[in-house]
Amino acid sequence: MNKAIIAIDSFKGCLSSIEAERAAKEGVLSVFPQCEVVCVPVADGGEGMLEALLSATSGQQISLQAPGPLMEMRQTCYGITADGHTALIEVAAISGLPLVAKEKRNPMNTTTYGVGKLIADALLRGCRDFIIGLGGSATNDAGLGMLQALGFRFMDKEGHLLGRGGRILADVASVDFSQVHPLLKEAHFKVACDVANFFYGKEGAAYVFAPQKGADEAMVVALDAGLQSLSRVIFEATGKDVSKIHGAGAAGGMGGSMVAFLNASLQPGIRLLLDTIHFTDIIRGADLIITGEGHADKQTLMGKVPYGILEVAKRQQVPVVLIAGRISDEALLHQAGFRGVFSITPSSMSLEEAMKPKVACRNICRFVEQLCRYEYS
């Protein structure tokens, strides 16, 4: 084997993309020491996307303080590509669910205000292009907090300025654009969005995602009604009907507001990442691509990392092997076009043991070594 590409998603709760790929690379080189092994850190728009993009673009990490989901000041970061033009922002880095203690999780209160502060900081540093990953938010405020931090003002029917959090959604009657950050008119936003949920309704942001963020049944009903009311205000203010946009419900409705107020384009996260890093060029001439994730099943075929990689590889006729800690729906995965679908976990090993980082690395390395020795040598 002359050239192998390794592009493995994180094994959630166990290994980062970079750690999993390092183990796989060791396995390849133990059999083919002269092989060119190219590791491509990957993610689908949530946790890990910033790390993957920084690695691929030789970018710079910017550290700063910004308000967290409950407006508490937190140390956080975002990235800027090496050319200084593009800001790379993970919503979860400042408005993520793990940042809120379980007993305080309440999407009526949580806000995306911190995301707006990161955008504003990047604008002042000269960035005009933005790639934003929406996964993992603690919020259901339709991105209004983010917009408030950028100068948008949301008023009730009496003309009073509203506060923050999902609780204000139903009270928004008008939008004041007079204090919007002046540099926004020069900015362009690409948003990594890996859900197709609508802004509101039974398949919308509140009903599908708010319970995971601490909402009880009454809150879900109130948040959904608020999103429905807000969608009418957004249409009046911008002329854009967010109720009909697939993905508008991402990050508690942030997807829809980014399209309406920031003219953002919503794209599948893995596709956006692979386009940004020019993955088509990276895999040219490769003999094999090894991809993977913690648990591979039929949902893998719904836009997750391994399937996004497979789609690009098919166009260049490069074989793709899928490895995972656990495999379900194996027949469907084979039918999709993977050359091989394999679990790296020995059948006798418990899940608890397999989830230990050192054990998982060893399992990946050993399996890839066996794969190369018996299938490709």
Least reliable range by pLDDT among 7-16, 156-165, 254-263, 330-339: 7-16
Burial category of 160 from C-beta neighbours within 10 Å (exposed 0-12, middle 13-18, buried 19 and up): exposed
Mean of pLDDT values over 301-328: 94
pLDDT value of position 304? 87
- Which DSSP string corresponds to 12-67? TTTB-HHHHHHHHHHHHHHH-TT-EEEE----SSSTTHHHHHHHHHT-EEEEEEEE
CATH homologous superfamily for 49-269? Answer: Glycerate kinase, domain 2 (3.90.1510.10)
Examine domains 3-40+279-375 and 49-269 and report if their fold is the same. no
Q: Which two tokens stand for residue 75?
A: 């140390």
User: pLDDT tens for residues 336-356?
Assistant: 999 999 999 998 999 899 999
How confident is residue 209, by pLDDT bands cut at 50, 70 and 90? very high
Q: Which two tokens stand for residue 172?
A: 């928004």
Distance CA 248, CA 242 (A): 6
User: pLDDT tens for residues 128-139?
Assistant: 999 999 988 999
More confident residue, 374 or 223: 223
Q: Which residue spans within the chain are E strands per DSSP?
A: 3-8, 36-39, 60-67, 73-80, 86-90, 129-133, 153-155, 174-176, 188-192, 265-267, 288-296, 320-327, 340-343
CA dihedral 283, 1, 339, 359 (to 10 degrees): -100
Using a pLDDT cut of 70, give the percent of the chain over it: 99
Mean of pLDDT values over 207-233: 97
Residue 118 pLDDT greater than 80, yes or no: yes
Inter-residue contact 164 to 121 (CB < 8 Å) = no
pLDDT value of position 52? 85
Distance CA 93, CA 69 (A): 10
How confident is residue 242, by pLDDT bands cut at 50, 70 and 90? very high
Distance CA 90, CA 112 (A): 11
Q: For the whole model, what pTM was predicted?
A: 0.87
User: pLDDT tens for residues 20-51?
Assistant: 999 999 999 999 999 999 999 998 766 778 88
How confident is residue 376, by pLDDT bands cut at 50, 70 and 90? confident
Burial category of 180 from C-beta neighbours within 10 Å (exposed 0-12, middle 13-18, buried 19 and up): middle
Where along the chain do its domains lie? Answer: 3-40+279-375, 49-269
Residue 297 pLDDT greater than 90, yes or no: yes
Burial category of 212 from C-beta neighbours within 10 Å (exposed 0-12, middle 13-18, buried 19 and up): exposed
What is the DSSP pairing of strand 3-8 with strand 288-296? parallel
Q: How far is CA 17 from CA 117, 212, 284, 293, in A?
A: 28, 25, 21, 9
User: pLDDT tens for residues 248-287?
Assistant: 999 999 999 999 999 999 998 888 999 988 999 999 999 9
Q: Which is nearest to 301 in space by CA: 276, 272, 337, 266?
A: 337
CATH homologous superfamily for 3-40+279-375? Answer: Glycerate kinase; domain 1 (3.40.50.10350)
Least reliable range by pLDDT among 72-86, 152-166, 180-194, 295-309: 295-309
pLDDT value of position 88? 96
